[in-house]
C-alpha cells in the first residue's frame, strides 16, 4: 500500500464512510497507516466494498453498521465498533491492546487525568464508582464525525419532522458520539467534525441543514477548550460543493454543473479527495498545534 505511515498504530472511526466524502476519508486514513472503523447507516454493501479495497491495498479496516438520528444511536455505533475492534485484534493483533495509553480505571477522562469527574457527577453512559472499566478504553485515536443528511429546503417548506431529522443526525448524533468516544480515546487524539460552507454563508434554500451544521461548529469550539489538557485537538472542516450523491440533484444538467463550478476560483466542483487530504493532515502529528479551528475547504467559493 502506498502509505505515508504517519498514522501507524492509530485507530480511527469514520461515520458515514460507505460513500462520498466519508469513503475518501476512511481510505486516506487507512493509506496513512490507521486501522479504520468504516461506519455505515444503510450503505452496507458500499462499506464492505471499501473495507475489502483497503485490505487489498495493504491497509486495515472493518465495517460497522448503526443508524444515526434514532434513540440510542451513539451507543449502538460504539457497541458495533468495540465488537469489530475485538474481532480485528483477535484475528490480526496489535492496535492498542495493552499499549501505552490504555486507561485502567474510572472516570470519563481516565484515573488521575485532568477533567476526571468527582463522585456523583456522572454523565450519560458513565460508570458508577467501583464498576470495572470496559476493555474498549484506550482503543480510539481519531473520530471523524462525517455522517450527515441534507435537503431540508427553505423555511416555507420546512416541517417539524424535517427539522428534527437535521438536528438529530447532524448535531445530536455527533455530540453523543463524542461523549461515548472520550472514555475510549487516548490522550493526543483527534476529533474532526465535517461541517459545510452552508454554516458560514447565507443558505436559505436549506436553512435547517445550515443551522444543524452551525451547531456542529459551535461544538468544536467548546470541545477544543475542554479537551486541550489531554492533548486532544478538535477541528471542523467545512467543504464547499463536493461531487457526491448528497448533492447530485444540484448537478443534473451541464448548465447546473457549470454554475456550481464557477463558484470556485478553480472553476471546478470539489472532489471527495480534496476534503480527505485535509482531514488526513488534521489527523496527523503535523496538526498538533491546531485546535478549535474551522478550515474552509471550498476551493475559494464565492471569493
Neighbour order of strands in the sheet with 35-40 = 60-65, 35-40, 11-14, 140-145, 185-194, 233-239, 294-297
Q: Which residues pair with 295 in a beta bridge?
A: 237
Min mean pLDDT across 100-104, 120-124, 292-296 is at 100-104
The CA-CA-CA angle for residues 221, 237, 47, to 5°, reads 120
Annotated catalytic residue: which of 196, 199, 212, 264?
196
| pLDDT tens profile 273-284 | 999 999 999 999
For the chain, what are the domain ranges? 11-111+132-297
Q: Is the pLDDT of residue 90 over 80?
A: yes
If you search the block for the grid coordinates 470496559, which residue do you land on? 134
Q: Is the pLDDT of residue 17 over 90?
A: yes
Q: Is 294 a catalytic site residue?
A: no
The listed range with the strongest mean pLDDT (119-128, 152-161, 219-228) is 219-228
Q: Which of 245, 207, 231 is nearest to 290 (CA)?
A: 231
Confidence label for 189 from pLDDT (cuts 50, 70 and 90): very high
pLDDT at 87: 94
Confidence label for 95 from pLDDT (cuts 50, 70 and 90): low
Annotated catalytic residue: which of 95, 106, 209, 294?
209
Q: Are 210 and 199 in contact (CB under 8 A)?
A: yes
pLDDT more than 70, % of the chain: 84
Annotated catalytic residue: which of 195, 199, 206, 264?
195
- Within a 13 Å sphere around the CA of 187, how many CA atoms are in the beta-carbon half? 16
Q: Is the pLDDT of residue 145 over 80?
A: yes
| pLDDT tens profile 230-244 | 999 999 999 999 998
Q: Are 120 and 127 in contact (CB under 8 A)?
A: no
Averaged pLDDT for residues 53-60: 97
Q: Is 213 a catalytic site residue?
A: yes
Confidence label for 252 from pLDDT (cuts 50, 70 and 90): confident
Q: Give Cα 278 to chain centroid, integer Å.
A: 13
Confidence label for 251 from pLDDT (cuts 50, 70 and 90): confident
Q: Which of 146, 257, 160, 265 is nearest to 208 (CA)?
A: 160
293 phi, psi to nearest 5 deg: -110, 155
SS3 32: coil
- What DSSP letter does each residue of 191-258 carry, written as one string? EEEE--GGGTS--GGGHHHHHHHHHHHHHHHHHHHHHGGGT-EEEEEEE-SB-SGGGGGGGSSHHHHH
Q: Are 68 and 44 in contact (CB under 8 A)?
A: no
DSSP run (H or E) holding 280: helix 272-283
Q: Is the pLDDT of residue 141 over 80?
A: yes
What's the CATH code, domain 11-111+132-297?
3.40.50.720
If you search the block for the grid coordinates 438520528, which residue do you land on? 69
Averaged pLDDT for residues 194-212: 92
26 phi, psi to nearest 5 deg: -60, -45
Q: Is the pLDDT of residue 113 over 80?
A: no
Q: How far apart are CA 76 and CA 239, in angstroms?
A: 28
Is residue 120 packed enough to be buried (19+ CB in 10 Å), middle (13-18) or exposed (0-12)?
exposed
The listed range with the strongest mean pLDDT (129-138, 171-180, 204-213, 250-259) is 171-180
Q: Is the pLDDT of residue 216 over 90?
A: yes
Q: Is 196 a catalytic site residue?
A: yes
Averaged pLDDT for residues 88-99: 68
Annotated catalytic residue: which of 43, 213, 264, 294?
213
Q: Which of 246, 242, 238 is nearest to 257 (CA)?
A: 242
Q: Is 132 a catalytic site residue?
A: no
pLDDT at 114: 37
Amino acid at each position: 500500500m502506498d502509505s505515508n505511515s504517519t498514522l501507524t498504530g492509530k485507530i480511527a472511526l469514520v461515520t458515514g464512510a460507505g460513500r462520498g466524502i466519508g469513503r475518501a476519508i476512511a481510505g486516506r486514513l487507512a493509506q496513512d497507516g490507521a486501522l479504520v472503523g468504516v461506519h455505515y447507516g444503510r450503505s452496507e454493501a458500499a462499506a464492505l466494498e471499501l473495507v475489502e479495497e483497503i485490505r487489498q491495498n495493504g491497509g486495515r479496516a472493518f465495517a460497522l453498521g448503526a443508524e444515526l438520528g434514532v434513540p440510542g444511536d451513539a451507543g449502538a455505533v460504539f457497541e458495533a465498533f468495540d465488537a469489530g475492534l475485538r474481532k480485528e485484534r483477535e484475528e490480526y493483533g496489535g492496535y492498542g491492546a495493552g499499549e501505552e495509553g490504555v486507561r485502567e480505571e474510572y472516570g470519563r477522562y481516565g484515573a488521575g487525568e485532568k477533567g476526571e469527574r468527582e463522585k456523583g457527577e456522572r454523565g450519560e453512559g458513565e460508570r458508577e464508582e467501583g464498576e470495572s472499566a470496559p476493555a474498549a478504553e484506550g482503543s480510539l485515536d481519531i473520530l471523524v464525525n462525517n455522517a450527515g443528511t441534507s435537503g431540508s429546503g427553505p423555511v416555507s417548506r420546512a416541517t417539524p419532522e424535517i427539522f428534527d431529522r437535521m438536528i438529530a443526525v447532524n448535531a445530536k448524533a455527533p455530540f453523543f458520539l463524542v461523549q461515548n468516544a472520550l472514555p475510549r480515546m487516548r490522550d493526543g487524539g483527534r476529533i474532526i467534525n465535517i461541517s459545510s460552507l452552508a454554516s458560514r454563508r447565507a443558505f436559505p434554500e436549506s436553512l435547517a441543514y445550515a443551522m444543524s451544521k452551525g451547531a456542529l461548529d459551535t461544538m468544536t469550539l467548546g470541545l477544543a477548550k475542554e479537551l486541550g489538557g489531554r492533548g486532544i485537538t478538535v477541528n471542523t472542516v467545512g467543504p464547499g460543493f463536493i461531487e457526491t450523491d448528497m448533492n447530485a440533484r444540484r448537478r443534473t444538467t451541464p448548465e447546473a454543473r457549470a454554475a456550481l463550478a464557477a463558484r470556485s476560483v478553480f472553476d471546478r466542483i470539489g472532489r471527495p479527495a480534496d476534503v480527505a487530504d485535509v482531514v488526513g493532515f488534521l489527523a496527523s502529528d503535523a496538526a498538533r498545534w491546531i485546535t478549535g479551528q474551522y478550515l474552509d475547504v471550498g476551493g475559494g467559493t464565492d471569493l
